[in-house]
Structure 1
Amino acid sequence: MAQPLSADALVSALRAEGVTVVEHAGWRTNNRNSKGSWGPVNGVVIHHTVTSGTTATVNLCFDGRADLPGPLCHGVIAKDGTVHLVGNGRANHAGSGDGDVLRAVAAENTALPAPDQNDTDGNTHFYGFECVNLGDGEDPWPEVQLDAMARASAALCRAHGWTAASVIGHKEWTSAKIDPRGFTMAAFRTRVAARLGAQPTRPTKSTPAHQPFPGAAWFRKNPKSAIVTAMGKRLTAVGCSAYAEGPGPQWTDADRASYAKWQRRLGYTGASADGWPGAKSWAALKVPYVKEA
């Protein structure tokens, strides 16, 4: 049990742990403190977003929805490992959960009870990180993202003197949720414990081999990006080109026709082979990573 970190202390803790932080305008005063208490805090809750694309996800988590005002977390962790700070104070992320789980987290028990009641306000007691992922169990978790998630969690644990047992998944807080999917929280806590067992360090400047999926909505905005060029070159390399010239950075009908060829190569038919990239077909294409300016 501890008092929440100030905005400055939170940023300092994250950066000391080697996290790349983006402070979004207004995040320091973006909270739901008028609707309930914030603190004392007991731990960190990890979520998946069920969204794709960094910008849209950050905007959603900052503003919230008509039925759930923002902020929806304290930080959004993107596929590239960047932590986008969107809230400081009480946030609408954990909701109601099991008081027995809270007591276990506060005691830093390594075994949590199964949540079977929703009798406690988690928004009072937990920091929350929303991590960009479709949450379908198939959308990949890039190593750079998992590393940033562990570093961000360890930063808060280190600042408060907590162990990795203070980090839980949303599904461990309430049976009404399934997030995060795609990895086990036991394995994730092992990552956090490893971070806490070492001095804070900057991550190594390695880059992922393949480009993370930028999200289905991203392509429908007719982007102009080096990612589109890299995708087109990869489609050409695998014999799925419909290009008369190029490919280039501007998304065109030729890109869509080429991608449709790739989808059909994978066995997709009908509306599933419409040329708009999806997470599974993108992962199979293995587009080389490019760093945009």
Structure 2
Amino acid sequence: MATPLTGTQLLAALRAEGLVVHEVRDWRRHHRNTKGGWGPVNGVVVHHTATEGTDASVNLCYDGRPDLPGPLCHGVIDKAGEVHLVGNGRANHAGLGDRNVLQAVIEEEALPRPHLSDTDGNRRFYGFECINLGDGEDPWPTAQLLAVEKAAAALCRAHGWGARSVIGHKEWQREKIDPLGFSMDTLRDRIGTRLSGAPEGPPAPSTDEGAGTGPGDGGPGARGLGNAPGGGDDEAGGPSGADGSGNGRPSPVPPMPRHPPYEPFPGREFFRPGTRSPVIAAMGERLVTEGCDRYRHGPGPDWNEAHRKSYASWQRKLGFHGKDADGIPGRVTWDHLHVPNTSAGAPG
């Protein structure tokens, strides 16, 4: 039994286990805590989505269905073995299950077969949805199964749990069949082996965009900005050589103007609820000018969903798609937007 991890702690635990993690929209504040308790937590439930396609599955788990509001889990694990965080708090994923199963999880004993539906699992368990049709034929790539192992191990490690704290949805509710296609006993064995060693540490940071904090424009698969094959943004279209002349000699660096004409990229972490800045208002004005207006009352200085939707439109305009057009600014699209420097008119 443990206090739930904060969003920052959850993100750090997953990355420390070697996972690539994407932060989806406002996941840190996305929960169902007003509908029931969240915590103390006792374990992790693994599901399959019965869907296909990363974007559609992630959006479904974030938004939910008409009969079941999101989030439908805490993280979605895609076929490539990457985790998409969609919720932080109570999530509609486990439902009512068997109190005897919960007690076995708490005591880390062999699980009984579930028969009762008398205990709120949404309060007690983290949930990971794995993208799979759940028909017994859709394959489970090695990378995806490894990510399931790592994600569950990360939470066990963070709370000091053993591998028996990880269960399948079908082991919690008698009506469920998920996850279908691999053995939960084998998964727990692999988790136990992983927990016997040290975490492997965060994956190497991406050089595509320089943000290194989750999904966003400039990640793998991003196209449409004239980037040279294999090169990141700093390499796009430039001749060889440090000074652009091909001779490899560094060129003199001109002095930086006191107030450059455009706002420098403030980093992805800047764009989250609670941030208030004239930079955000200036960004919004540029988005309106570019025809990427999703505002009802005009852009203001507070980061909000209208800003995110407008920026996602800008990302798509530049040729980004899927998680690379999540509405959170990245360096490549920010530099192309040319947001006026809000300090340019300041004295001295």
Shift of 1:198: 1.2
Which residue of structure 2 aligns with residue 173 of structure 1? 172
CA distance in 2, matches of 1:191, 1:134: 23
Shift of 1:78: 0.2
Which residue of structure 2 aligns with residue 60 of structure 1? 60
Shift of 1:168: 0.1
CA distance in 1, matches of 2:15, 2:203: 14
Return the letter of the residue paired with 2:35.
K
Return the letter of the residue paired with 2:128.
F
1:139 equivalent in alignment to 2:157 = no
Q: Tell me the TM-score normalized by structure 2.
A: 0.58
Summarize the Cα distance change of 1:66–1:144 in structure 2 as closer, same or farther, 3 Å threshold: same
CA distance in 2, matches of 1:197, 1:166: 15
Which residue of structure 2 aligns with residue 266 of structure 1? none
Question: Are the equivalent residues in 1 in contact too, given 2:52–2:132 (CA < 8 A)?
Answer: yes
- Determine what percentage of the aligned residue pairs are the same residue: 65
Which secondary structure state, in structure 2, belongs to the residue aligned with residue 88 of structure 1? coil
Which residue of structure 2 aligns with residue 30 of structure 1? 30
Question: Are the equivalent residues in 1 in contact too, given 2:105–2:165 (CA < 8 A)?
Answer: yes
CA distance in 1, matches of 2:193, 2:80: 21
Which residue of structure 2 aligns with residue 192 of structure 1? 191
CA distance in 2, matches of 1:193, 1:204: 21
Which residue of structure 1 aligns with residue 84 of structure 2? 84
CA distance in 2, matches of 1:76, 1:39: 20
CA distance in 2, matches of 1:198, 1:131: 25
CA distance in 1, matches of 2:82, 2:203: 14
Return the letter of the residue paired with 1:99.
R
Largest Rg, 1 or 2: 2
Return the letter of the residue paired with 1:165.
R
Return the letter of the residue paired with 1:152.
A
Which secondary structure state, in structure 1, belongs to the residue aligned with residue 171 of structure 2? helix
Which residue of structure 1 aligns with residue 252 of structure 2? none
Shift of 1:197: 1.0
Shift of 1:189: 0.4
Shift of 1:195: 1.1
Aligned residues: 206
Higher helix share: 1
CA distance in 2, matches of 1:202, 1:170: 29
Q: Where do 1:34-183 residues align within 5 Å?
A: 34-109=34-109, 111-183=110-182
Question: Are the equivalent residues in 1 in contact too, given 2:15–2:202 (CA < 8 A)?
Answer: no
Q: Tell me the TM-score normalized by structure 1.
A: 0.69
Structure 1 consecutive aligned stretches of length 4 or more whose deviation exceeds 3 Å: 202-205
CA distance in 2, matches of 1:203, 1:137: 32
Q: 1:149-194 deviations in whole A, cap 9, x for unaligned?
A: 1000000000000000000000000101000000111001011111
Shift of 1:202: 4.9
Shift of 1:204: 8.9
Return the letter of the residue paired with 1:88.
N
CA distance in 1, matches of 2:190, 2:140: 14
Summarize the Cα distance change of 1:60–1:53 in structure 2 as closer, same or farther, 3 Å threshold: same
Which secondary structure state, in structure 2, belongs to the residue aligned with residue 192 of structure 1? helix
Return the letter of the residue paired with 2:195.
L
Structure 2 residue runs of 5 or longer lacking an equivalent are 205-222, 224-323, 325-348
Alpha-carbon RMSD across the aligned residues, in angstroms, is: 1.5
Which residue of structure 2 aligns with residue 5 of structure 1? 5
Return the letter of the residue paired with 2:49.
T
CA distance in 2, matches of 1:69, 1:176: 20
CA distance in 2, matches of 1:203, 1:13: 9
Summarize the Cα distance change of 1:178–1:117 in structure 2 as closer, same or farther, 3 Å threshold: same
CA distance in 1, matches of 2:30, 2:76: 14
Which secondary structure state, in structure 1, belongs to the residue aligned with residue 115 of structure 2? coil
Which secondary structure state, in structure 2, belongs to the residue aligned with residue 138 of structure 1? coil
